[in-house]
Amino acid sequence: MTGELNPGLIIILGALLVPLLPGRVLRGAYMLLLPIAAFAYLLGLPMGEAGQIEFMNLSLVTLRVDKLSFVFGTIFLIATLLGVIYALHVGDWVQHTAGLIYSGSAIGAVFAGDFVTLFIFWEITAISSVFLVWASRNSSAMAAGLRYLVIQVGSGVILLAGVLIHYQQTGSIAFNAMGTETLAGKLILIAFGIKCAFPLLHNWLQDAYPQATVTGTVILSAFTTKLAVYALARGYAGTEILIPIGAVMTAFPIFYAVIENDLRRVLAYSLNNQLGFMVVGIGIGTELALNGTAAHAFCHILYKALLFMAMGAVLYRVGTVKGSELGGLYRSMPWTTVFCIVGAASISAFPLFSGFISKSLIISAAMKEGYYWVWLTLLFASAGVFHHSGIKIPYFAFFAHDSGKRCEEAPMNMLIAMAIAAAFCIGLGVYPDPLYALLPYDVKYDAYSLEHVVTQLQLLMFSALAFTVLMRTGIYPPELKSINLDTDWFYRVPGSHLAQVANQFRSVTWQWVADGTVKLATKVHNALYQHHGPEGWFGRTWPTGTMAFWTTVTLGAVVILSYL
């Protein structure tokens, strides 16, 4: 065994001590130190592969530091710190422990240099993250968490199958570029696609995330899907099938988000929309596009966490995030309102906010490589995300009408976490050079060219005008108490019927087995009673002489057999 320790293990091993620490203050201070210590350790690591372990004739590379893993590892550690700060008021050690193990395993996967190490961390993310859903401790969360777990573990099983086939064919488990020419490459792509919420594989995200706890949803939004983006960028850069997949991902969630009443579900659909931009960048595969993917993942984690934090604060104080039940909260929660607007401006790619300096890299790459229909789709998606996240979220939560709800401002630790995330969103938007310096490739790019600024402002202004006209004319879908059907209907409804049939079959089978067992036991009992009962041949009293006779016969038989 040679090399260094994977930074993710610092978080995971440290998380195991959290339940043992007395007092919320000591526990909180300790949890804050974990991501800080891991980041300090990461800064001291040299570029290259380390942590080699020989295991069952396999050469594991548990630590690979390069520019791609470094940028994802950095933002994952920042997200871990923000999640800890946001959750300091929570006294549930289960959530703290699960959240840290989850984030640590995602960080560990980013620095994995082989498929076996990746698979181990991949499955730990699935198992640990489900506790953030179950921590809500209600029947809906338990059911959603179970569905989430099945899908996430299923992704791991498919990944393992692909890895085994790949090892059988090549004799290597190195986690490098794959391609889709082989069966192994296709299976691994599907495994990554499930976690990345590809179209028709996306429903677990909208199903589980809104059911998680206030703090759990913030943590969930940062890691699983972006880990999948990293894995795709590592293994499938330049795979053209990802371009139409990503384009569809950017477009279809818009329609669901516009009609959705639950604002955390709106953000979950918006998350899917933003993932599409990253998948398109990976599919294009040029240095500019991959830089855009990494930059957009970095910025997206921050502004999406900020938006989930704002809605989490509303849920924590008011008890609901239904758009039909909110409005006028800017009076009670002014700081949360400001931070939410910063997040909305960032995700909408307003100039001087982080989304502007990252999303433009991918859009420019699509235009540069001649993918004009993709470029148009991305522009449409950019306008759409401004509708449902840039306007709808802050408008219906804080301004639409006065719901009459009055509450306290969010707890101080929540405000601090939101303030730090908002500072990143503005800081990166104003001065993107530090982020650009972290990106995998040295590409010179001026986000604030006159053409780009004017084009983006035109897009945003016309989108705002369209929203205003639709609201004034009453065409815009109102916020109604409703449940919107998604494509998961096609397997959840038949699946429910299949489960009912299976349960009935189980009940009938069990009853048949139970009745048969009772009948057999009754027959055995009656037979035993007949022979061993008071009147049975073996149960009745025998004369002493008879017993002595048979004892002598038995003893004689034993003596004869011993001589033989």
pLDDT of residue 542 exceeding 50, the answer is yes
Distance CA 246, CA 250 (A): 6
Give the helix ranges, DSSP H, for 171-182.
none
Judged against a pLDDT cut of 50, whether residue 198 lies above it is answered with yes
Name which residue leads in pLDDT, 328 or 226: 226
Alpha-carbon distances, residue 558 vs 545, 546, 550, 553 (angstroms): 20, 19, 12, 9
Q: Give the other-Cβ count within 10 Å of 19's Cβ.
A: 11
449 has a pLDDT exceeding 80: yes
- Please say if the pLDDT value at position 3 is more than 70: no
Tokens read off for 509: 């089978």
The backbone torsions φ and ψ at residue 479, rounded to the nearest 5 degrees and listed phi first, read -80, 105
* Three-point CA angle 421, 427, 428, nearest 5°: 95
Residue 65 bridge partners (DSSP): 48
* pLDDT reading at 561 higher than 80: no
pLDDT tens by residue, 351-383 = 999 999 999 999 999 999 999 999 999 988 888
Q: Which has more pLDDT, 471 or 458?
A: 458
Higher pLDDT, 232 or 486: 232
Point out the least confidently predicted range of 15-19, 58-62, 147-151, 154-158.
Answer: 58-62
The helix/strand count (H/E) of the chain reads as 21, 2
Q: Looking at residues 482-488, what average pLDDT do you find?
A: 66
> In this model, does residue 313 exceed pLDDT 90?
yes
Tokens 């859009």 locate to 363
394 neighbors 329 (Cβ within 8 angstroms): no
* Cα(37)–Cα(81) distance, integer angstroms: 11
pLDDT at 294 exceeding the cut of 70: yes
**With left for phi above 0 and alpha for psi between -120 and 50, is residue 353 left, alpha or beta?**
beta
Position 476 scores a pLDDT of 63
pLDDT over 70 percentage in the chain = 91
Residues 137-164 pLDDT 10s: 999 999 999 999 999 999 999 999 999 9
Helix, strand, coil share of the chain (percent; to 5): 75, 5, 25
53 residue type, one letter: I
Res 282: pLDDT: 96
If pLDDT is split at 50, 70 and 90, which confidence band does 344 have?
Answer: very high
Rounded Cα distance between 124 and 148, Å, is: 14
Domain parsing of the chain, residue ranges: 1-150+176-232, 237-489
Residue 385: its pLDDT value, please?
Answer: 84
- Is the model's pLDDT at 505 over the cut of 90? no
Torsions phi, psi for 332 (to 5 deg): -90, -30
Place of tokens 């401790």: 137
Q: What are phi and psi of 197, to 5 degrees?
A: 60, 50
8-state DSSP, 286? S
pLDDT at 429: 94
CA pair distance 450, 456, nearest whole angstrom: 10
- According to DSSP, residue 53 is labeled E
Residue pLDDT, tens place only, 32-46: 999 999 999 999 999
Question: Between β-strands 58-65 and 48-55, what pairing exists: parallel, antiparallel or unpaired?
Answer: antiparallel
* 74-78, 173-177, 265-269, 560-564: range with lowest mean pLDDT: 560-564
Residue 557 pLDDT > 60:
yes
Query: Taking 50 as the threshold, does the pLDDT of residue 1 lie above it?
Result: no
Pick 491 or 214 by higher pLDDT.
214
Closest CA to 182 of 159, 162, 154, 198: 162
What integer is the mean pLDDT of 187-212?
92
Task: Tell me if 51 sits within 8 A of 3, measured CB to CB.
Answer: yes
Average pLDDT of every residue of the chain: 88
Tell me the mean pLDDT in the region 207-230. 94
**pLDDT tens readout for residues 390-432:** 888 898 889 877 777 888 999 999 999 999 999 999 999 999 9
